[in-house]
Amino acid sequence: MAEASAVVTARELDGLEPEFVSDVRDDDHWHSVTPAQGDALRAWMRANSIEPNDVYRIETYTMDCAFARVFAYARTEHGQFVLDCPPDDSEHRPHRGRCSPVKREPYITMLASRPPELAP
């Protein structure tokens, strides 16, 4: 899917309520998701050209078409996550909590289908 920023801008979303939100930082949401629901959500993302392993939040909307605002972590051209590490950490030890992933600018993309929970 092509990014739809030319069709819908983030400014146009101000004040709109998303139809669906999935946020990995929302423990209440993820404690209520079954493994089958998680698999279905990841399959839906992949079917819409969204890499679920990069996403930390996704919001879906419908105006003239279905689209999503995707919040994702940045990756290098080699596919590795970009990390923000303290200057004194030359060994890049994210497992010790010293580094954090860099977030890319949220983007808007058109969707071929709605998330599993919203499908008619």
Tens digits of per-residue pLDDT, 54-83? 999 999 998 888 999 999 999 999 999 998
In this prediction, residues 27-41 reach a mean pLDDT of 78
Single pTM value for the model? 0.77
> What is the pLDDT at residue 84?
87
% of the chain surpassing 90 pLDDT: 38
Identify any residues that bridge with 109 across adjacent strands, giving them in sequence order.
Answer: 3, 68
Provide the CB-side half-sphere exposure for 79 (13 A, CA): 2
